[in-house]
A and B are shown apart, each in its own frame.
Chain A
Amino acid sequence: MRVRRGDVRDAVYEDGRAAVYVDDQVIVLSEMATVILDTVQDNGTARLDDITQVVLDEFGPPPRPGDAAEMTRNQVLDLIAHGVLVDDDPIVATAPTQRSTEALKDALRHLRSSDHTRWQIPEDVTPGEFLASGRQHHVTSLVAHHIDRLVLPSDLESALRMTTTRTDASVRLLAGELGRALDALDRAGVRALAIKGLALSAQAYGDSTVRGAGDLDLVVPPADVATAHKALVEAGWRHDPAHPIPGSSWAWRHALRTGYELTLESDTSVVDLHWHLSPMKSTCPSFDDLWKRREVLNLGHREVSTLSRYDALAHSAAHSAKDEWRWMRSLVDVHALASDSRTWHADRPLRHDELVTLGLSVLALGRPDCAPPVVDHAVRLAQPYWDDSTALHLHTLQTHVSPATPGTTLIRTLRGSWRSRSAITEVPRVLSRSLLPTWLTVDEPSTTVLVAAPRVMARRIRLMIGRLARSRGGPQRL
């Protein structure tokens, strides 16, 4: 391993220690870290072995059982994670392979177990492939947080530590944004539950940074969506132009009736504002029921309401099923919640799709000690889905791409509604959303369905004809 200096803009020394200014942060270095930094010249590089020798010369060998090479390596990796040093030959995520995805799943199974030995990456998996599989399944941050339970090459460990440092900074920022959004909703008199993301991470893993940073997901009562939208816009989030503006238009009513979320963006965060937990509304508890059962977390020095653990388990499981269990992160989430005895205060049975997810998570990651007998029933239900989901784990992309073939999304949605045993009344709503998608209704000002729906339908037909013509290589007329 060879390192060079990071973007150290300024340094102050005092009694063998230094404070350095890197990435807009002041980092205080220990005496050993200061020696290591000084070993790396401004425009040069230094090998880990040479740095270790300098440290040995300066401080002598550590007391037994300390190992100078290991201590120096850890210190160097820490300096890399904070940007003080830079790995001169960093690993780059290549492409995941079958072996690297299998190794990742093996590592996750180890991390979810009570086995306190350190898991070792197989020799036939390169660091770049392992990193790629971690990203593919959105678990890089989770793996990075448990690095002390893994034996990994220095360059992979360095990449994972950098992930942790970046994630921690992003999560701090997001926690502030979450507080700001909740304050705005509080002032507007709107109750809100934070779901997924930081809240789920804190609830399932006891640490808001484990799942990584992403969007902020908030659930509000369906009757308060317009008020919540206004409050968030006034607080600096921007309206999504692909969604109708709240008001009296048919388009807004249609979006509320057929959809379950809208997105608002600011320069620093994205808020997904939900008024139901999932598109299959008949299968979700009401907001009032979720609110009654809510759990209050402390996030970023602020109290934040989130789902009860059992509701979070059900929601995460349903979400995973909606995505056809393609990413390991959601299975790990469900496993973490299922492994917590506090979760099992069941006020209703889990749905079929939720049970299948639970079963798949147990098949993939092991049976939690505290889990009730329903877990064994879930495993039996999941068996028929195991081969398909395992195959999908190998080939799925990091981000799901909607299929281009017309009607595929509709068929998948209807299949999902069957898996979740949704009420038959969902079918007209799903069809209505598919025929009159929200993004096509944005410019429709009419307040009545009789005027608006035919116009949107006409636009839809024109678009379909245009798409058909393009697929046949004909003239493009819209």
Chain B
Amino acid sequence: MTVSFEPGADVHSPDINEIMHTLSPTVTREVIGAQAGRLVMLHAAALANPRTGAAAVLVAPSGTGKTTAAMTLGRTLAYLSDETAGITEGGDVLAYRKPLSVIESPLFKTQRAPSEMGLITEANAGRLAALYILERDHEHQGFPVVVALDTIDALAELAPQVSFLGKFDRPLQRLADLLHRAGGAKRVTYRDAEELAPLLARDLGHLTS
């Protein structure tokens, strides 16, 4: 992949902000393409308990709260990703610590390094322990509402959020196995990301021994 201020490169613009805006998703697409058929790659934020390694995957479509959740929760939990959770056949959630895309201008998202945002970046992987399908609702009142999903329904909800699902020989069996490892999927309706902290603490274990 080539990057330049001049036309002709894969990623190019006279504006460095536009280059960064384009570069990060371009790299992500390349990475996802390279791992197709090997990792289950969920459109999700991922965080892990730095003490136990138990990891939570927070699935959500673009623009519905993954980055906000990662930035809010990644100060106490280990930040693994705010975009793509790559999960091995054995249930390891691999870190993909891409820069965080933050809306600071009307034109481009600004790319911020995780460490610059005060996130914990030591862990390279976690063990899948919980899987949430996030539904952020600005009108929601009170505690987050958590609903456990049947495997069948969870498969239907997760499939559109998996990159290259069709590359697996038995795509549904692979996803069902992942759900089994996570103890099933839970749909969480919430308003603010900090409300998710107690839920993750319960499912991932205490941060101190």
A interface with B by C-beta (< 8 Å):
9-12, 14-15, 17-21, 24-28, 187
Proximity string of chain B (138-157) to chain A, C-beta cutoff 8 Å, 1 when within and 0 when not: 00000000000011110110
Check if A12 sits within 8 Å of B156, measured CB to CB: no
Taking the nearest CB of chain A, how far is it from the CB of B37, in angstroms? 14
Sample of 16 A–B contacts (CB below 8 Å): A10-B170, A10-B173, A12-B151, A12-B172, A15-B150, A17-B152, A19-B156, A19-B172, A21-B165, A21-B171, A21-B172, A24-B166, A26-B172, A27-B156, A28-B153, A187-B107
Closest A residue by C-beta to B63? A301
Interface flag for B123 (CB, 8 Å): no
**Which residue of A11, A24, A26 contacts B156 across the interface (Cβ within 8 Å)?**
A26
Q: How large is the interface on B (under 10, 10 to 19, 20 to 34, 35 or more residues)?
A: 10 to 19
Not counting A17-B150, A28-B155, a sample of 7 additional A-B residue pairs whose C-beta atoms are within 8 angstroms of each other reads: A10-B171, A12-B176, A14-B152, A21-B166, A24-B166, A26-B155, A28-B152
| Contact residues, B128-187 vs A (CB, 8 A) | 150-153, 155-156, 159, 165-166, 170-173, 176
Taking the nearest CB of chain A, how far is it from the CB of B59, in angstroms? 14
How long is the Cα–Cα vector from A301 to B152 in the complex, in angstroms?
27
Check if B156 sits within 8 Å of A28, measured CB to CB: yes
How long is the Cα–Cα vector from A26 to B153 in the complex, in angstroms?
10
How long is the Cα–Cα vector from A11 to B151 in the complex, in angstroms?
12
Closest A residue by C-beta to B170? A10
Tell whether A12 pairs with B173 under 8 Å between CB atoms, given A24-B166, A25-B159: yes
Taking the nearest CB of chain B, how far is it from the CB of A160, in angstroms? 25
Residues on the B chain within 8 Å of A9, using CB = 166, 170-171
Residues on the A chain within 8 Å of B173, using CB = 10, 12
Residues on the A chain within 8 Å of B172, using CB = 10-12, 19-21, 26
B interface with A by C-beta (< 8 Å):
107, 150-153, 155-156, 159, 165-166, 170-173, 176
How long is the Cα–Cα vector from A24 to B164 in the complex, in angstroms?
9
How long is the Cα–Cα vector from A130 to B173 in the complex, in angstroms?
42
Residues on the A chain within 8 Å of B176, using CB = 12
How long is the Cα–Cα vector from A24 to B107 in the complex, in angstroms?
34
Residues on the B chain within 8 Å of A19, using CB = 151-152, 155-156, 172
Taking the nearest CB of chain A, how far is it from the CB of B134, in angstroms? 17
Taking the nearest CB of chain A, how far is it from the CB of B178, in angstroms? 12
How long is the Cα–Cα vector from A12 to B152 in the complex, in angstroms?
7
How long is the Cα–Cα vector from A16 to B202 in the complex, in angstroms?
32
How long is the Cα–Cα vector from A14 to B159 in the complex, in angstroms?
17
Residues on the A chain within 8 Å of B171, using CB = 9-10, 21
Residues on the B chain within 8 Å of A25, using CB = 159
**Which residue of B150, B166, B170 contacts A14 across the interface (Cβ within 8 Å)?**
B150
Q: Which of A18, A25, A26, A27 has the most CB of B within 10 A?
A: A26
How long is the Cα–Cα vector from A445 to B159 in the complex, in angstroms?
52
How long is the Cα–Cα vector from A14 to B151 in the complex, in angstroms?
7
Residues on the B chain within 8 Å of A15, using CB = 150, 152
The 7 A-B pairs at the shortest CB distance, nearest first, are namely A26-B159, A10-B172, A19-B155, A19-B152, A12-B172, A24-B166, A28-B156
How long is the Cα–Cα vector from A160 to B192 in the complex, in angstroms?
45
How long is the Cα–Cα vector from A17 to B165 in the complex, in angstroms?
21
Residues on the A chain within 8 Å of B153, using CB = 28
Taking the nearest CB of chain A, how far is it from the CB of B61, in angstroms? 10
How long is the Cα–Cα vector from A10 to B107 in the complex, in angstroms?
43
Taking the nearest CB of chain B, how far is it from the CB of A268, in angstroms? 15
Residues on the A chain within 8 Å of B170, using CB = 9-10
How long is the Cα–Cα vector from A317 to B171 in the complex, in angstroms?
49
How long is the Cα–Cα vector from A44 to B85 in the complex, in angstroms?
40
Residues on the A chain within 8 Å of B152, using CB = 12, 14-15, 17-19, 28
How long is the Cα–Cα vector from A20 to B176 in the complex, in angstroms?
12
Taking the nearest CB of chain B, how far is it from the CB of A190, in angstroms? 15
Taking the nearest CB of chain A, how far is it from the CB of B105, in angstroms? 12
